[in-house]
Amino acid sequence: MLLKDQITEDMKTAMRAKDSERLGTIRLLLSACKQKEVDERVVLDDAAVIAIIDKMIKQRKDSIEAFTKADRKDMADKEAQEITVLTAYLPARLSADEVLAAVKAVVADLATASGTKMGPGDMGKVMGAAKAALTGKAEMGQISSAVKAALAS
């Protein structure tokens, strides 16, 4: 079953259970997916839905930070609850060590393919390959940190 289909089924379940907070978050997610499909005239696969979920979680984290600074604990709590609902649709994330190991493997593959040692100047090339390999498995900030560490050593 596609992730989008699972989200739609969860929306129906939340409607039946009259769980308004969960329902609202799921509707926002489905709306973002539909918007992307209409804008780009494509049918979203699981990787694209995961990218949308990651983006929504990042937005909520930024909102929590802003609400906390503004002393709006009620709004920050609402955003945290939405993060909990959204996180349930993400696949299991890799640990920091697993991300670093995967990035080192990508660096080794690129170095073998190019025949030269990779350095800090190759950050863009390595990021592109690492992003393709780890999309949905780790946050981009974590991947970026791992790439910097791998290229520095």
Q: What is the pLDDT of residues 43-92, one digit of tens each?
A: 998 888 998 998 999 999 999 999 999 999 999 999 999 999 999 998 88
* 24 & 73 share domain: yes
Gap between the Cα atoms of 80 and 54, Å rounded: 14
Domain tally, the chain: 2
* 14 & 74 share domain: yes
- Which domain does 128 fall in, by range? 96-152
* 109 & 76 share domain: no
Of 87, 116, 136, at which residue does a domain stop? Answer: 87
Count of C-beta atoms within a 10 Å radius of residue 36 = 16
* 124 & 63 share domain: no
Of 54, 70, 87, at which residue does a domain stop? Answer: 87
* 103 & 78 share domain: no
* 54 & 102 share domain: no
* CATH code, domain carrying 10: 1.10.1510.10
pTM for the model stands at 0.78
* 12 & 83 share domain: yes
Confidence of residue 96 (pLDDT cuts 50, 70, 90): confident
Q: What is the pLDDT of residues 72-86, one digit of tens each?
A: 999 999 999 999 999
Cα 43 from chain centroid (whole Å): 19
